[in-house]
Chain A
Amino acid sequence: MKRFITLFSILCLGCSLALFSSPTADQIMELVLETQSSSTSALDIKLTLIDRTGNTRERRLQTLSATQYGKTSTLTVFLSPESVRNTRFLSVEGTGGTTEQWIFLPSLKRIRKIAGTEEAGSFMGSDFSYNDMASTTYDTGQADHHLISEDGKSYTVESIPHEVKAYGKTLTIVDKETFLPLEVQFYEHDGKTILKILTTEAIETISDRPVSTIMVMKTHSSSHTTRLEILQARYDIPLPEGYFTTRFLETGRL
């Protein structure tokens, strides 16, 4: 039902955009988020880290996410390389804006309660930060959006975050057909120096929705790149609550 409402709202918005005028930057960025949102998701991800000489390293992880009453729980399991295999990370959003987080380290055989941090650092040595893994765009409450240009296929939107943390500015080129980001440029705090560029290399239709299945993030200063490939994806599927518990974190079993 939720999917129908979402599709209906996208269609309505699409019609209104076509009938009247170009959408506003806020409307575009809301559609970008709407296109990528789901009540639940299960992703099987491969990260390939490529240094400037072409040497590669691979990381494999699977992540489950469920949003209920506006609260999101996320479970991430690291599968490779072997040194991090079966490391599990659980994040449960609670009431009052609090988020509880636990990590299970196989070497310690224990779960450890940890504090949430500003995750601007490199995720598993890749060019993605922890925040990038969650989302590469800002919603309207987080940033001021400006429509910079438009052509037959895409919109270019500048986003300046209200609170500058990792980036001073982003430029997002949005596909008019799918409302997925085709490219995102991330700028330093000065808003002028390019830090990283994210390019979408493949878009597929999964569960009747467009999904960016291959993305490449390049760090400008080091020429180091990370290719993120979604090997498998499931959206809006029933996910047992048992996945988002310290029991699953500790045992790996439902």
Chain B
Amino acid sequence: MKRIILITILLLATTALLFAFDIFADEEEPARKIYLQKETSLIIYRDKTLEPQLLLDISVDYNNEAYRAQTTLQIDVATSKLSAKHLSISIFRGNQILTTGWITHPWGSASLTHVVDVLNAQDLSGGIKDDLEAMKLPELMLSLTTYQERSSLDVVLKPGFRTTTLENTGRWSLIPAQFSSVTLDEEETMNLEKIGGGARYRIHTSPIDLGLLYFNGYWPQSGYTNITYDSTYAITGAETIHTRYQLIGFESSSLFGPLTLALEGGFFLSEDTDGSDPGLYNSKWAYLAELSYTHSASGTFLAVAYQGQYVLHFPSSPMDVDVLASNDGKAYANTLLAAAELKFFREKLACRVAGTYQLESTGYLILASATYALGDNLSFFLKTTWYGSIETKDSLYHTWDANDSLQIGLHAWF
């Protein structure tokens, strides 16, 4: 099957000429372009486990006056997995773009993290990557964006939703060992009962770029109900359920001297308005402030961010999902983030470092990488990831403490 897809794509492909504007293209511009990229690497974990990785991305972009069809497939040779990272058709009509398909749709104005980027769930089955967009799970979605001179309105409809991907076993599992044998009856989330939708209005003015958001849909993290116990009161089974909520939020971006100040925030109004159902997530406030500096000529990027949330009607029951998802059993959670990207030797060497520190749990994550361009379309990279916590409090970072890793590899575009 994979071979058939590959051959079909290659047969369909034409030589890709480079044009950004019709001005240069005339009638020469190819309607169909193909891009391939390959990444081969070896991941070395702290426990001396080796994990080879071989990824091939195939992107085909068909573009004409009326519509554009984009496809990105990824083949993971190590796991023999073929996945669709992006499948979309966009129809252009006047100042409107209608896009439908298996896509990610970004909301939020910051760069390091987001609190209002709610349209796609995250894939946490392989740890945390240094690319937030790459961690998103594409979903079936329909979006209609209407552009005016300095403003735009995008309306999004999701017939069903995907849940956050977690591992039940292995090094990336977040489920405590005592629950590993629990039988979970997963709720069906891809049906019209789980429909969600929202809209964002953005306006670009000289002092500020501002967006107002509304979304009515489901929280991608599962809650639990109908928990069953054995005679020793150990949990034997549960059904997953999901919380419907409404988000009323905003995103903004403005200049603060040479810095960009990005703000995101919103109120998540849960269907469990009084917080009485332990299986559903409660209402909460979420906020984010980020200061960043971009030097467009050299590609230097520096940023610091502060992100947090406050859960209303925070419960006392240790089995309530709000408590299970909290940091150190607190209603509030605050995180500091910082990142830097610098380029050296005429942009041959790019160094990135990013760090996260969760204040309540004292958990931290450090991601660092160096990429050296061996040629125009070939680079060698070295990445390292450290998870941990200063104190032994429960957190995602503490759970993954043993998963520190070093990754060495090559990336090629062709």
Q: How far is the CB of A223 from chain B (nearest CB, A)?
A: 13
B260 cross-chain contacts in A, Cβ below 8 A: 112-115
- The answer to whether A108 and B111 touch (CB under 8 A), given A119-B297, A122-B297, is yes
Q: Does A234 contact B (CB under 8 A)?
A: yes
**Number of chain B residues close to chain A: CB under 8 A:** 50
Q: Does A3 contact B (CB under 8 A)?
A: no
CA distance A37 to B22 in the complex (A): 23
Structural contact, B23 and A112, CB atoms closer than 8 A: no
Structural contact, B21 and A113, CB atoms closer than 8 A: no
Q: How far is the CB of B93 from chain A (nearest CB, A)?
A: 11
CA distance A109 to B21 in the complex (A): 20
Structural contact, A94 and B209, CB atoms closer than 8 A: no
Structural contact, A115 and B23, CB atoms closer than 8 A: no
Q: Does B294 contact A (CB under 8 A)?
A: yes
Question: Hey, what's the 0/1 contact readout for B252-283 against A, CB within 8 Å counting as 1?
Answer: 01110111100000000000000000000000
Instruction: Tell me how many residue pairs across A and B have CB atoms closer than 8 Å.
Output: 122
**Complex interface: stretch among B237-245, B373-381, B390-398:** B373-381
CA distance A239 to B206 in the complex (A): 23
Q: How far is the CB of A225 from chain B (nearest CB, A)?
A: 11
Q: How far is the CB of B239 from chain A (nearest CB, A)?
A: 35
Of residues 106 to 130 in A, which have CB atoms within 8 Å of B's CB atoms?
A: 107-110, 112-115, 117, 119-126, 129-130
Of residues 207 to 252 in B, which have CB atoms within 8 Å of A's CB atoms?
A: 209
Q: Does A211 contact B (CB under 8 A)?
A: no
Structural contact, A82 and B23, CB atoms closer than 8 A: no
Q: How far is the CB of B373 from chain A (nearest CB, A)?
A: 7
Structural contact, B375 and A121, CB atoms closer than 8 A: no
CA distance A64 to B33 in the complex (A): 23
Q: Does B296 contact A (CB under 8 A)?
A: yes
Range class of the A interface residue count:
35 or more
Partner of A64, one of B23, B111, B253: B23
Question: Hey, what's the 0/1 contact readout for A77-114 against B, CB within 8 Å counting as 1?
Answer: 10111110000010000100010110100011110111
Q: How far is the CB of B38 from chain A (nearest CB, A)?
A: 12
B185 cross-chain contacts in A, Cβ below 8 A: none
Structural contact, B23 and A130, CB atoms closer than 8 A: no
Q: Does A188 contact B (CB under 8 A)?
A: no
Partner of B376, one of A58, A62, A100, A121: A58
Structural contact, A224 and B346, CB atoms closer than 8 A: yes
Of residues 15 to 55 in B, which have CB atoms within 8 Å of A's CB atoms?
A: 18-24, 35, 37
CA distance A112 to B291 in the complex (A): 12
Structural contact, A125 and B348, CB atoms closer than 8 A: yes
Q: Does B295 contact A (CB under 8 A)?
A: yes
Question: Hey, what's the 0/1 contact readout for A211-234 against B, CB within 8 Å counting as 1?
Answer: 000000000000010000000101
Q: How far is the CB of A103 from chain B (nearest CB, A)?
A: 6
Structural contact, B111 and A112, CB atoms closer than 8 A: yes
Structural contact, A115 and B377, CB atoms closer than 8 A: no
A108 cross-chain contacts in B, Cβ below 8 A: 106, 111, 133
Q: How far is the CB of B240 from chain A (nearest CB, A)?
A: 30
Q: Does B109 contact A (CB under 8 A)?
A: yes
Q: Does A252 contact B (CB under 8 A)?
A: yes
Known pairs A112-B260, A113-B255, A125-B343 / 19 extra A-B pairs, C-beta < 8 Å: A44-B24, A60-B18, A82-B413, A89-B296, A108-B133, A110-B106, A110-B109, A110-B111, A113-B253, A115-B257, A115-B294, A117-B295, A120-B297, A121-B295, A122-B298, A130-B296, A234-B23, A243-B21, A246-B204
Q: What are 28 sample pairs from A and B whose C-beta atoms fall under 8 A apart?
A: A42-B21, A58-B376, A62-B20, A64-B21, A81-B373, A83-B377, A89-B296, A94-B206, A108-B106, A109-B106, A110-B109, A112-B111, A112-B253, A112-B260, A112-B292, A112-B294, A113-B253, A113-B260, A115-B259, A117-B295, A121-B295, A122-B297, A122-B298, A125-B343, A224-B346, A245-B150, A246-B204, A247-B95
6 closest pairs, A vs B, by CB? A82-B413, A125-B347, A125-B346, A77-B20, A130-B297, A121-B298
- B contacts, CB < 8 Å to A: 18-24, 35, 37, 68, 92, 95, 97, 104, 106, 108-109, 111, 131, 133, 147, 149-150, 152, 204, 206, 209, 253-255, 257-260, 292, 294-298, 343, 346-348, 373, 375-377, 379, 413
